[in-house]
Amino acid sequence: MARVEDSPWAIPVAQIASRAGQSKPIDADFPAPSGIGDSIVGIKEGEPVRVSGQFDSIVDGLIFTGRLVAPFVSECTRCLKPIDEDWPVDVTVFFPYESGQDKANGKGGKSKKDDEIDIIAGEDESEDTYPLLENGAFADIEAMIRDTLVESLPLQPLCRPDCRGLCSQCGADLNEDPDHHHDVTDIRFAGLAGLKAQLEAEQNGEQAE
């Protein structure tokens, strides 16, 4: 069985977890977990995610406050140009200490029914909460990275806020040619235009005779 300390996302925090008021700074790259978006909008698995910030020890756990910066890949929804840029996201999450009751129960201290009740009861609270591992010795930030980045991904990514997109008639990039346009005849006057052309042709024929 793999050890917790061998995980690329495990951060040792035992020293600051021993007493409230202590801090541990973090500024390092961690591999992007799987499942962050897809090939169209997302962050590729294994790409380096910069995690900078600090863990602060309080009475009932650790609070991590910082920023994630990940290489974001997508394409603009207006002009279809590829987007390849750093995607910064601020984050604040909580790593609670294991309670005395949890320790007393241990692995076999709860029934399946009790576990289901705890999951339902803690559903609303667990959104920005992640467990400490090995009796508080490690904070595993894999889920934190995945959840934070997934929630922040744009639904309609743009190469720039004022992207003009593509011409609906010929597909020309309007960012490169902002004056691009087409002369279009209003279909409401198409019949009149045809009648006018016919009359002009008849008139020219009479003059030629």
Calpha distance 168→36 (Å, rounded): 32
* Longest CA–CA separation in the chain, Å: 112
Structure-block tokens of residue 6: 């061998």
pLDDT at residue 207, rounded to an integer: 61
Q: What is the pLDDT of residue 126?
A: 41
Amino acid at 62: L
Amino acid at 172: A
Provide the pLDDT for residue 185.
Answer: 57
- pTM value is 0.69
pLDDT digits (tens, 9 = 90+) for 5-42: 779 999 999 999 878 899 999 999 999 999 999 878 99
pLDDT at residue 107 in the model: 41
Residues of the chain short of pLDDT 70, as ranges, are: 1-2, 99-127, 183-193, 205-209
pLDDT computed for residue 113 by the predictor? 41
Residue 201 pLDDT:
73
Give me the sign of the Cα torsion angle 56, 58, 63, 66: negative
What pLDDT, on a 0 to 100 scale, did the predictor assign at position 34?
94
Beta bridge partners of 96: 61
